[in-house]
């Protein structure tokens, strides 16, 4: 129980540090600053996802960068809200991708 409280305290401290660093880059963004933000996002995602889930997210990013960005933003939001208690598995990531992917209607016209 004490370990859980200590872990939560450390996690909140690290999250506050990351938010502070991200908050500092809100002004005029330079390539170096955006690169640092992206590195921090990747660091957070490496901590949040299992290796299989991380691999799947990278694959999705190649084909659908907008969907991958939505998923990354959602996961970071969940972390900030304190709603993640374990690493996200590949199966959980698949479900999240299905939920966040907009439904496309396929229309076939014959001439």
Stretch 68-81: mean pLDDT: 90
Q: Domain with 81 in it: what CATH number?
A: 1.10.8.140
Q: What is the pLDDT of residues 22-56, one digit of tens each?
A: 665 555 456 777 888 888 889 989 999 999 999 99
Q: Please check whether residue 63 lies inside any domain of the structure.
A: yes
pLDDT of 60? 92
Q: Please check whether residue 110 lies inside any domain of the structure.
A: no
Q: What is the pLDDT of residues 75-89, one digit of tens each?
A: 989 888 888 888 999
- Whether residue 2 is predicted with pLDDT greater than 70 in this model: the reply is no
Q: Please check whether residue 2 lies inside any domain of the structure.
A: no
> Does 9 or 54 have the greater pLDDT score?
54
Residue range(s) defining the domain that contains residue 86: 36-101
Q: Please check whether residue 23 lies inside any domain of the structure.
A: no
Per the prediction, the chain carries an average pLDDT of 83
Instruction: Return the HEC string of the chain.
Output: CHHHHHHHHHHHHHHHHHHHHHHHCCCCCCHHHHHHHHHHHHHHHHHHECHHHHHHHHHHHHHCHHHHHHHHHHHHHHHHHCCCCCCECHHHHHHHHHHHCCCCCCCCCCC
What is the pTM for the complete model shown?
Answer: 0.61
Q: Please check whether residue 67 lies inside any domain of the structure.
A: yes
Q: Please check whether residue 5 lies inside any domain of the structure.
A: no
Q: What total number of domains does the chain contain?
A: 1
């Amino acid at each position: 129980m004490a370990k859980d409280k200590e872990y939560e305290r450390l996690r909140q401290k690290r999250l506050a540090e990351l938010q502070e660093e991200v908050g500092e880059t809100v002004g005029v963004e330079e390539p170096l600053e955006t690169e640092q933000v992206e590195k921090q996002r990747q660091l957070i995602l490496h901590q949040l996802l299992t290796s299989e889930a991380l691999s799947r997210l990278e694959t999705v990013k190649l084909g659908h960068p907008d969907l991958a960005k939505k998923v990354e933003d959602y996961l970071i939001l969940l972390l900030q809200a304190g709603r993640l208690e374990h690493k996200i598995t590949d199966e959980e990531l698949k479900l999240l991708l299905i939920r966040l992917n907009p439904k496309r209607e396929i229309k076939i016209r014959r001439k």
